[in-house]
């Protein structure tokens, strides 16, 4: 038994019929070199042999009596691999649009909380003979870094012998722990609450210090992002529907690195600038580009890559993204300045401030409020806290395989929130930056346009950087 942290449990409390708190990890593999050929049963067998390296996959949620404090994870004695691993095919020709439609449908349905909170869909019929693997995991079980660690535990590093060895790997016999009694759950909840409240005076003092530091920093002026709820509202900042639309696209990581080196920026700065450029064009086409810049939440991990394979260790930066800036080079420079200010604001409050306060979140009142807020569509009646979430997760740096099947590409889908109906999540892999973009069908029916705008924005930025370099060399 393992008690959820407040941050992990918060993703459960937030969930409603329209606000789904699962994430998707989408892999495309080439099975051409699988010894003996690909089969669905082989892939399921390999996954089953590696469940011992995937802690969240055998655990389900158990509520504590009276909702006294956060739920616990327990190993599911009725775990059924066949329930979680599904097989499906896309219609011909199996291109990005067909694959995206299937992913969108998978994303539009909640996970069953009576079972471990994941599903894995094996998708056949993709173009080039490729196979898709769509892993649907609740955010309460893993953030982006933990999901990347789980991926590394399933896939072998570019060694066919190592990957193929999974077929004969003999996992340890698994015996689930007994389900705790109501009394054990109650006693553990009381102890957990006592510890949390014992730390409350210290947390209050740290919060006061953080707010004081932030106020002092804002008085000093400079390039700081505006506070939440000061963002202009656009068409995707409304109440959610249950229906998701997912699209994806890739750009060259080498191109992005050349740009960031030329401009003294970071890869993340360039990703934010490309996203801002794409959103600028998208909103221009719809006649709703605001004069003020949009605001983005930027999740940042407070844990190290590879050190864990479950749970959430994440905080958020809030920054403006220059959708109001026409010049592509100036957009990158503006992002760089604003991100430096956002980091100062984040550091002033403390990276763990949010997670510490979530330990005291009352489960049932919070969940009831979220259901009321969502059902009444209240997000459509006030200014959004931010406009979009843009996340950048470093993916595997070396080629990966599973039983000889080469991992071609990987994409990620993060959750969208009430009033924040757009999420752009970027995973890097083997020289590519892979954009996964999700919204509601009703809010952004033409979402594929955004992928075209990202490609155009990169070409525009490359030309502008090259032109500036030539201009600088002649001065």
Cα 205 versus chain centre, distance: 32
139 in active site: yes
Q: Which helix (H) or strand (E) holds 471?
A: helix 448-474
Q: Are strands 388-393 and 423-429 parallel, antiparallel or unpaired?
A: parallel
**Active-site residue identified among 20, 70, 139, 336:** 139
Q: How far is CA 442 from CA 243, 282, 422, 438, in A?
A: 8, 16, 12, 12
Q: Where would I find the H helices in 316-379?
A: 328-349, 353-358, 363-375
The Cα–Cα gap between 99 and 106 comes to: 11
> 164 and 157 in contact (C-beta within 8 Å)?
no
Cα 42 versus chain centre, distance: 29
Beta pairing partners, 251: 433
The Cα–Cα gap between 375 and 299 comes to: 27
The Cα–Cα gap between 458 and 194 comes to: 53
The torsion angles phi and psi of 136, rounded to 5 degrees, stand at -110, 115
The Cα–Cα gap between 81 and 79 comes to: 7
* Backbone dihedral region for residue 350 (phi beyond 0: left; psi -120 to 50: alpha; all else: beta): left
Please identify every residue annotated as catalytic.
139
């Amino acid at each position: 038994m393992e008690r959820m942290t407040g941050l992990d449990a918060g993703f459960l409390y937030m969930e409603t019929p329209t606000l789904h708190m699962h994430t998707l990890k989408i892999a495309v593999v080439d099975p051409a070199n699988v010894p003996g050929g690909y089969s669905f049963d082989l892939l399921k067998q390999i996954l089953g042999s590696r469940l011992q390296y995937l802690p969240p996959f055998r655990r389900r949620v158990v509520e504590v009596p009276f909702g006294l404090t956060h739920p616990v994870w327990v190993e599911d004695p009725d775990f059924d691999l066949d329930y979680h691993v599904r097989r499906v095919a896309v219609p011909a020709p199996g291109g990005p649009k067909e694959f995206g439609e299937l992913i969108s449908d998978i994303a539009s349905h909640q996970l069953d909380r009576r079972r471990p909170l994941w599903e894995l869909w094996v998708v056949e019929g993709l173009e080039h003979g490729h196979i898709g693997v769509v892993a649907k995991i609740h955010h309460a079980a893993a953030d982006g870094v933990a999901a990347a660690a789980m991926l590394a535990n399933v896939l072998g590093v570019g060694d066919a012998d190592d990957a193929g060895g999974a077929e004969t790997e003999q996992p340890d016999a698994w015996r689930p722990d007994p389900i705790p009694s109501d009394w054990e759950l109650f006693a553990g909840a009381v102890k957990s609450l006592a510890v949390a409240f014992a730390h409350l005076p210290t947390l209050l003092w740290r919060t006061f210090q953080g707010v004081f530091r932030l106020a002092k920093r804002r008085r000093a002026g400079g390039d700081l992002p505006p506070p939440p709820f000061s963002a202009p509202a656009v068409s995707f900042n409304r109440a959610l529907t249950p229906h998701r639309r997912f699209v994806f696209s890739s750009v060259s990581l080498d191109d992005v690195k050349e740009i960031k080196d030329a401009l003294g920026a970071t890869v993340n700065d360039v990703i934010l600038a490309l996203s801002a450029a794409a959103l600028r064009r998208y909103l221009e086409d719809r006649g709703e580009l605001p004069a003020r810049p949009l605001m983005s939440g930027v999740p940042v991990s407070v844990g190290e890559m590879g050190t864990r394979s479950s749970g959430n260790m994440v905080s958020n930066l809030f920054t403006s993204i220059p959708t109001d800036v026409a010049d592509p080079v100036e957009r990158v420079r503006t992002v760089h300045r604003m991100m430096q200010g956002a980091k100062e604001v984040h550091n002033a409050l403390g990276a763990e401030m949010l997670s510490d306060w979530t330990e005291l979140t009352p489960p049932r009142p919070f969940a009831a409020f979220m259901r009321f807020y969502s059902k009444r569509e209240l997000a459509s009646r006030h200014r959004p806290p931010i406009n979009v979430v843009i996340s950048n997760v470093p993916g595997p740096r070396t080629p990966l395989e599973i039983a000889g099947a080469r991992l071609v590409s990987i994409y990620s889908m993060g959750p969208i929130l009430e009033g924040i109906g757009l999420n752009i999540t970027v995973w890097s892999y083997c020289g590519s930056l892979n954009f996964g973009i999700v919204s509601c069908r009703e809010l952004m029916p033409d979402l594929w346009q955004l992928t075209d705008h990202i490609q155009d924005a990169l070409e525009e930025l490359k030309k502008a950087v090259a032109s500036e370099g030539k201009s600088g060399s002649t001065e």
